[in-house]
Amino acid sequence: MKNLPHQRKKFSLPAQSVYLNCAYMSPLLKSVEKAGIQGLLSKRNPSFLSSGDFFTGADELRSEFAQLINAKNKNQIAIIPSASYGLANAAKNIKLKRGENLIVAAEQFPSNVYPWMNLSKESGASIKTIHPPSFLEDRGKIWNEKILDSIDSATRLVALGHVHWADGTKFDLMKIRKRTREVGALLVIDGTQSVGALPFDVRTIQPDALICGGYKWLLGPYAIGLAYYGNYFDQGIPIEENWINRKNSEDFSGLVTYEANYQPGALRYDVGERSNFILVPMMTAALKQINQWTPGRIQEYCQKISARPITRLREAGYWIEREEQRGHHLFGIRLPQQKSIREVRAKLKENKIAVSVRGEALRVSPYLYNSEKDLMKLVETLIF
Ligand SMILES: Cc1ncc(COP(=O)(O)O)c(C=O)c1O
């Protein structure tokens, strides 16, 4: 497939803005904006809304997400309002015992930590938090090795991201999956900071669950996301009991013939009112665009526009993880000793460059609306 060109025209960002912060929130695609406005206006006159419409939009969205992550069946996909919601559904269906353990990475995003803290408290199982080394040499490689070494015969769950949300360190999910299988542990992935911009194939990695908030790399609106649940969760209990998630809910005249069974697969984990006639068409429009672009090409684009700026920063004493150990769409920049984060922050503000500050590092997250020029502006601002 051909390399992707710059896609700024598909967004409405102001001409001068240097927005390098998709990991915080993606800007809106024009096509997504249009779908949202149409959805909003459709409620002016509900007489055109059929009972079938409660299902068709959601199904189309499931199909687009299934295509994105190469899931076999769209019924493995649930529509969720947030990553924490999808992870709560996973946590509700995992039973642990005293003497067992679960593993997370240090400083993981809280939505992928709090459910496990609760589970640990309720069950007496311990949480092993795996820290990166304290030095920068081979940081990502050593962190991955430490995670693999920490998985033992008492491990029942590993809960990670594909990349670390704060600095883009990539976790080797193939190796981690292999090791979890050896000990019979589940693998739950928070894909919020990667899926959409970094290829993720559920048939290759085979996670037990993959949970994604939609407003970052999936280019969706706020308050909708998508989750994949593998076979382990097929017979589980959802965190809420919603009428539309029960079998035969398509028959609106029979809703009070209360039904003991759920809809198939992961549909039981859908959030209430998941037919959302504004958010669902927006999310679908976004995924259609991403499926056309493909995450592989998005990753390549980000690599291409960031390569020279990163070389310049390294020459000026900044530290950035090696390519193979991080995302190209999300990476951390650590400052040289003589520079203070406060000073750097002020310079960025003065030059109207949007990145995030996470601890003592900058988190830079470019996308297709950026060009090498944007990143060079960041470089010029940092070299003072
Ligand atoms: C890795 C990761 N997961 C999840 C979220 C958002 O979580 P939630 O959808 O529960 O608000 C973020 C937001 O920054 C994130 O970085």
Residues of the chain with CATH 3.40.640.10: 46-292
CATH of 46-292, one of 3.10.20.30, 3.40.640.10, 3.40.50.300, 3.40.1160.10: 3.40.640.10
| Res. 178 pLDDT band, cuts 50 70 90 | very high
Compute, in angstroms, the gap from residue 148 CA to the centroid of ligand 1.
Answer: 24
pTM of the model: 0.98
CA-proximal residue: ligand 1, atom 14 (nearest): 24
Q: Are 105 and 160 in contact (CB under 8 A)?
A: yes
Compute, in angstroms, the gap from residue 284 CA to the centroid of ligand 1.
Answer: 20
- Taking only the tens place, the pLDDT of each residue in 36-75 is 999 999 999 999 999 999 999 999 999 999 999 999 999 9
Residues of the chain with CATH 3.90.1150.10: 8-20+294-382
Shortest-distance atom of ligand 1 to CA 193? 1
Q: Which of 111, 114, 357 is the pocket-test mutation for ligand 1 (most atoms within 8 Å of CB)?
A: 111
- Return the pLDDT at 359: 78
- Return the pLDDT at 384: 83
- Return the pLDDT at 147: 98
| Res. 361 pLDDT band, cuts 50 70 90 | confident
Task: Say if residue 171's pLDDT is above 80.
Answer: yes
Compute, in angstroms, the gap from residue 193 CA to the centroid of ligand 1.
Answer: 8
The full 3-state SS of the chain, as one line of letters, equals CCCCCCCHHHECCCCCCEECECCCCCCCEHHHHHHHHHHHHHHHCHHHCCCCHHHHHHHHHHHHHHHHHCCCCHHHEEEECCHHHHHHHHHHCCCCCCCCEEEEECCCCHHHCHHHHHHHHHHCCEEEEECCCCCCCCHHHHHHHHHHHHCCCCEEEEEEECECCCCCEECCHHHHHHHHHHHCCEEEEECCCCECCECCCHHHHCCCEEEEECCCCCCCCCCCEEEEECHHHCCCCCCCCCHHHECCCCCHHHCCCCCCCECCHHHHHCCCCCCCCCHHHHHHHHHHHHHHHCHHHHHHHHHHHHHHHHHHHHHCCCECCCHHHECCCCEEEECCCCCCHHHHHHHHHHCCEECEEECCEEEEECCCCCCHHHHHHHHHHHCC
- Return the pLDDT at 358: 85
Q: Which residues on adjacent β-strands are paired with residue 364?
A: 331
Shortest-distance atom of ligand 1 to CA 84? 10
Compute, in angstroms, the gap from residue 104 CA to the centroid of ligand 1.
Answer: 15
Q: Are 269 and 88 in contact (CB under 8 A)?
A: no
Shortest-distance atom of ligand 1 to CA 161? 1
Shortest-distance atom of ligand 1 to CA 225? 9
Task: Say if residue 237's pLDDT is above 90.
Answer: yes
Shortest-distance atom of ligand 1 to CA 111? 10
- Taking only the tens place, the pLDDT of each residue in 118-135 is 999 999 999 999 999 999
Averaged confidence pLDDT in the chain: 97
Class of domain 8-20+294-382: alpha beta
Shortest-distance atom of ligand 1 to CA 108? 1
- Return the pLDDT at 84: 98
**Looking at residues 18-25, what average pLDDT do you find?**
98
Compute, in angstroms, the gap from residue 160 CA to the centroid of ligand 1.
Answer: 12
Compute, in angstroms, the gap from residue 109 CA to the centroid of ligand 1.
Answer: 6
- Residue in the structure block whose two tokens are 């001409």: 15
Q: Nearest to residue 145, comparing CAs of 161, 133, 128, 153? A: 133
**Looking at residues 301-330, what average pLDDT do you find?**
98
Compute, in angstroms, the gap from residue 80 CA to the centroid of ligand 1.
Answer: 13
- Return the pLDDT at 331: 98
The angle formed by the CA atoms of residues 94, 98 and 99, to the nearest 5 degrees, is 110
Q: Nearest to residue 182, comparing CAs of 203, 161, 204, 152? A: 152
Shortest-distance atom of ligand 1 to CA 87? 10
Task: Say if residue 1's pLDDT is above 90.
Answer: no
Compute, in angstroms, the gap from residue 87 CA to the centroid of ligand 1.
Answer: 11
**Looking at residues 90-104, what average pLDDT do you find?**
98
Q: Within 10 Å of residue 276's Cβ, how many Cβ atoms?
A: 20
Distance CA 11, CA 372 (A): 17
- Return the pLDDT at 360: 76
Q: Which of 26, 163, 165, 217 is the pocket-test mutation for ligand 1 (most atoms within 8 Å of CB)?
A: 165
Q: Which of 192, 210, 226 is the pocket-test mutation for ligand 1 (most atoms within 8 Å of CB)?
A: 192
Compute, in angstroms, the gap from residue 132 CA to the centroid of ligand 1.
Answer: 21
Pocket of ligand 1 (CB under 6 A): 82-84, 109, 111-112, 161, 165, 190, 192-193, 213
- Taking only the tens place, the pLDDT of each residue in 67-96 is 999 999 999 999 999 999 999 999 999 999
